[in-house]
A and B are shown apart, each in its own frame.
Chain A
Amino acid sequence: MENNAEDVENSMEQQQANTAPEPGQQPQEPPATRARSRGGSGAGAADGGGGDGGGGNGTGPEQNGQPPTARPARVVDAEEEEDEEMTLKYGAKHVIMLFVPVTLCMVVVVATIKSVSFYTRNDGQRLIYTPFPEETDTVAQRAVNSILNATIMITVIIVMTLVLVLLYKYRCYKVIQGWLFLSSLLLLFFFSFIYLKEVFKTYNVAMDCITLAIVVWNFGVVGMICIHWKGPLRLQQAYLIMISALMALVFIKYLPEWTAWLILAVISVYDLLAVLCPKGPLRILVETAQERNEPIFPALIYSSTMVWLVNMADTDRPKRNSAEAGSVQQPTQESAVESPAPSSPSQDDGGFTSSWVSQQQHRLGPLQSTEETRREIQQMPSARPPVEDDDEERGVKLGLGDFIFYSMLVGKASATASGDWNTTLACFVAILIGLCLTLLLLAIFRKALPALPISIFFGLVFYFATDNLVRPFMDQLALHQFYI
Chain B
Amino acid sequence: MTAAVFFGCTFIAFGPAISLFLFTIAREPLRVIFLIAGAFFWLVSLLLASLVWFISVQISNKESASQQKGLLIFGVVLSVLLQETFPAFHEVFKCFFCFFVLVSGLGFGFMSGAFSVVNILADSVGPGTVGIHGDSQHYFLSSAFMTMAIILLHMFWGVIFFDGCEKRRWFVVAAVVVSHLVVSCLTFQNPQYVSSLVPTYIIMLSMGIWAFYTAGGSLRNLKLCLTCKDKDFLLANHRPR
Residues on A lying within 8 angstroms of B by beta carbon are 81, 85, 88-89, 92-93, 95-96, 99, 419-422, 425-426, 429-430, 432-433, 436, 462, 465-466, 468-470, 472-474, 476-478, 480-484
Contact = CB atoms under 8 A, between A and B. Distances in A.
B33 A480 contact: no
A432 B36 contact: yes
A308 B57 CA distance: 60
Contacts of B69: 480
A100 B69 CA distance: 41
Contacts of B142: 481
A422 B188 contact: no
Nearest to A97: B29
B32 to A, nearest CB: 6
A482 B187 contact: yes
Contacts of B241: 81
B222 to A, nearest CB: 29
Contacts of B234: none
9 contacts: A421-B118, A421-B119, A422-B119, A430-B40, A436-B37, A470-B47, A472-B54, A482-B184, A483-B184
A432 B49 CA distance: 23
Interface in B42-91: 43, 46-47, 49-51, 53-54, 57, 68-69, 72-73, 75-76, 79-80, 83
A316 B39 CA distance: 42
A92 B187 contact: no
A470 B112 CA distance: 13
Contacts of A81: 241
Contacts of B32: 92, 96, 99
Interface string B175-212: 00000000110011011000000000000000000000
A473 B56 CA distance: 12
* Closest 7 A/B residue pairs (Cβ): A481-B190, A96-B29, A92-B29, A92-B30, A469-B50, A421-B118, A473-B50
Given A422-B119, A484-B80, A470 B114 contact: no
A433 B36 CA distance: 7
A470 B50 contact: yes
B120 interface: yes
Given A96-B29, A421-B122, A480 B36 contact: no
B170 interface: no
A469 B47 contact: yes
- Dominant secondary structure of chain B at its interface with chain A: helix
A96 B30 CA distance: 8
B133 to A, nearest CB: 12
A95 B28 CA distance: 11
B187 A483 contact: yes
Contacts of A420: 119, 122
Interface in B1-41: 28-30, 32-33, 36-37, 39-40
A469 B47 CA distance: 7
Interface of B: 28-30, 32-33, 36-37, 39-40, 43, 46-47, 49-51, 53-54, 57, 68-69, 72-73, 75-76, 79-80, 83, 96, 111-112, 114-116, 118-120, 122, 139, 142-143, 146-147, 150, 183-184, 187-188, 190-191, 240-241
A482 B76 contact: yes
B240 A429 contact: no
A160 to B, nearest CB: 34
Given A465-B47, A469-B54, A483-B184, A478 B116 contact: yes
A484 B120 contact: no
Contact of B118 (A88, A422, A477): A422
Nearest to A425: B114
Nearest to A433: B40
Nearest to B51: A469
B43 A462 contact: yes
Nearest to B188: A482
A425 B115 contact: yes
Nearest to B78: A484
Contacts of B43: 426, 429-430, 462
Contact of A482 (B39, B57, B72): B72
Contacts of A476: 68, 72
Contacts of A419: 119
A429 to B, nearest CB: 5
B33 A429 contact: no
A95 B54 contact: no
B104 to A, nearest CB: 13
Nearest to A94: B29
A421 B30 CA distance: 26
Nearest to B143: A481
A276 B139 CA distance: 54
A64 to B, nearest CB: 24
A481 B76 CA distance: 12
A482 B190 contact: yes
Nearest to B113: A483
Given A95-B29, A474-B50, 4 more contacts: A429-B43, A473-B75, A477-B76, A480-B69
Contacts of A92: 28-30, 32-33
A416 to B, nearest CB: 16
B120 to A, nearest CB: 6
A327 to B, nearest CB: 25
B190 A429 contact: no
B77 to A, nearest CB: 9
B33 A95 contact: yes
A53 to B, nearest CB: 14
A85 B80 CA distance: 34
Nearest to B83: A484
A419 B114 CA distance: 13
A85 B33 contact: no
A182 B124 CA distance: 45
Nearest to B146: A483
Contacts of B122: 420-421
Contacts of A470: 46-47, 50, 115
Contacts of B139: 481
Contacts of B83: 484
Contacts of B112: 484
A464 B123 CA distance: 23
A261 to B, nearest CB: 18
A43 to B, nearest CB: 9
A429 B39 contact: yes
Nearest to A99: B32
B29 A480 contact: no
Contact of A480 (B118, B119, B183, B190): B190
